[in-house]
A and B are shown apart, each in its own frame.
Chain A
Amino acid sequence: MLFNSLVFLYAFLPVTYLVFWRLKRKTDRYAWLTFTGYVFYAFWDYRFCGLMALSTLVAYLAGLGLRAWDDPRRRRLCLIAPITIDLALLGFFKYADFGMDTANRVAAWLDIPLYFSGPDIILPIGISFYTFHTITYIVDAYRRTIVPTRNFFEFSCYVSLFSQLVAGPIVRFRQIEQDLEHIDQHAPARTWSIGWSFFTLGMIKKVLLADTLAAVIDPALAHYADLSTLDTWLCMLGFSYQIYFDFSGYSDMAVGLGHLFGLRIPQNFDSPYRAVDPSDFWRRWHISLSSCLRDYLYIPLGGSRDGAWHTARNIMITMLLGGLWHGARWTFVNWGAYHGLLLVAYRGARPAWDALPIVIQRGAMFLLVLVGWVFFRADSWPMATHLLSTMFGWVSGPVIPGLWGLIAVLAAAAVAAHFGRNSWELSHRWRPAAGAGLAALFAICVMLLYVGKPTPFLYFQF
């Protein structure tokens, strides 16, 4: 099920909300949110609910063990066993095809008579996100950063919470623990308006900006070999805004929905296209992922403690795995490598970069990010290289269909992304004209939902 679908808006959300507030006991509310999370997930494919339940159960039992035992060996077992199971599931469902395909290519290249084949594996939606939830929970419990919960429904509600289930943000248990603990004491009126405000802004970002951009650039990029230089730049500019408004729109909706149920989901985007350097960008883009990569991968690898060489190595490992997390494709690995190199280069050239005027820093950073999106958007390495060569060469060609619409939406998107306040900088107390304007834009979104099949969020695939 998608947030931007009529069945969600007309049926799922009202029923979930009304029943939730009718229930008074904590455990009832946990159980209800767990149940609705599974219903939400089953709308995509009910067969994979069992996988999520298994991951939840394993992490819950590990948490109980970590809560009960002080013996280091037992605690290590409670750390390693569930993480191994989680990573094995993730590896099988997300990376098995990729691994076999890569091995076959290497074998063919080396002229080795070897060919791996297996069944076509369906990637369960959201597996990257709920696996992250369970792993961070176990690691935090092992580090004694959190006290694992004894209430199974509290934990399962945390893992399967529909608002963040399939595309994040990656919420750590400690970030939501307090709200979960007091889920029976929350007053619904307090966060009702702010919740709807976030949700409305997210819907507008997703449906009006991201989907309209996609309507023009997706058909154009399907025939990328025919694009001119100008059109390729426009398409990649469009994709830069599409992915931002798509994912930050989803995050805003998740935050808004969380508020409706008394759960404060943390900020995931902080105007990333206002970033002045690569480090700044990663402090602003997909904050929940980048902070997880920092805390659970980069710092355990050694962080920046052991000199420039080790720091560069740690950055590259982190970013390569971060890229791979996004999808089982070499273009995602390339995208991670590209950003890793930017971070490493920035560490070397920091004094010179920081001396540049802030406008130049922002402009250059946006340009660098835009070029990086080529790897992210391309379906294959030949597509990525073709797009880059077209962008940095000169190719003429026919104008893409929908050019005027693209330019209009790009202008609105650019103003919002570079100069507007983001959802977290707003007070969410709207003056009448602004409130009416927001509602009017939401009405257009609803009409667009009537037009056709709702477009899935880009991050559903990761």
Chain B
Amino acid sequence: MADFFLYFPQAFAPANLVALILGVFGGLILGATPGLSPTMAVALLVPFTFHMDSATGLTLLGAVYTATVAGGAISAILINIPGAPANIATLLDGYPMAKQGKSQTALYICFISSLVGGIFGMVIMILFTPPLAKIALKFGAPEMFWTAIFGITVMAGLSSGSIFKGLIGGMFGLLIATIGYSPVLGTPRFVWHDVLTGGVSIIPALIGLFAIPQVFALLETLGKDVAKVAFKPEKGVLFKTIQENLKMVKALSVGSIVGSLIGVIPGAGGQVAGLISYDQVRKMSNNPKSFGKGNPEGVAAAESANNAMVGPSLIPLLTLSVPGSPTAAVLLGGLLIHGLFPGPDLFTVHAEVTYTFIATLVLAQIVMCIFGLILSRYSYNVMRVPNLEMAAAVTILAVFGTYSVQNSFDDVIVMFSLGTLMYVGRKVGFSPAPVVLGIILGVIAEDNFLKGQLIASTDVGMFRYFFTGTINIIVISLCVLSILYSIYGEIRAYQKMKIQGERK
């Protein structure tokens, strides 16, 4: 902690400040653009930092990372397309709020909650790096497998209509994740066309599942007298929202804690943090039915979690070279091209660069909130773009964002195919969020299951390996509780419908 304060003034060096401001501003814009994920934005910038001073280059990458995660909420709230994977949970209540004419409030809640979660995550990162890194070290194959399964059980709560449809969607996502070559055995699976040889990557899937159905949905509104989700910034809303937002202690606390915990687990990322936090806050709420219909607590939970994840996701990265999120993995490339190798040396030999980087990340949270609140006032201009032009532009951006990740036209075809299928799926009550979660967790679940299976067969056997141990038992209990709660919710919904039917 003393080292952090010793190097904190370095964050205010002119070059670092310029990098910070440009990074945050650009990150917010990039984050708000559908399809341009934080991972892609940071990956695009890594080569540019090569010619910069190490601290300045890392400041730019860190600022973009922080701001894109928060900026993705702008498009999630205003046009129902998450700008980044981390904002999937934000649109569940953010977009309904916008439709109710509360866009300004939703955006303000998003940035204030991001600041609260972000600062919490950074404090966790600075204070608890050594003990949390030790806990992360204890997550072996069975613990990671059960963590993925826990994420899958969360899917049940994500479906707006039927739990079964939510679970089928999630399972469909898990199946999509198995397309291509088996990561452990190298056997091709479901490769029915050359396009599928490389499997389905998360970015094409994410863009396709969210952007393409939205394009077709925008066309449906042509010629119809549809209430547009537009707003005029009003005075006094900010002060009122800050007061209202800070009263959401439960949502902000759960979001910040869940985000920090998920962040420190390698590979999980902001999308998992946001969805789990959202689900937990919904379950703890006195009025869970209001979630998905524009409950501000839903936005606060999701946004505080995905930004709380940023700091802790760097803990295993800086100490063990294990990235806590896909973007942190790209950030590792940024560290390496500056000759900074993760490990104890970062905090001793390269202490100045490391602590300056951490200090600018803290500052980035504050600058992100200020810029985000200012941008929120003008983001309503996004809504002035006619739906037809928006549909054309979103299609082009979706193609561009998908292609530029791996320079692969196959990815574009996969993106469009999945998107078209999802559009039809949406028409019959399926939601894209469980499918995406399935794709993300499928790789983690299968990879760790097969690894665990191999280890268990030569060690203590499957049961003892997967079902004993404190962390395993805790995560398995959470899985069981999540499923039981979802079944309880379904039964209650059925009973309510029955009572209403009898009254009629």
Q: Do A and B bind each other?
A: no
Q: Give the B-binding residues of A (Cβ under 8 A).
A: none
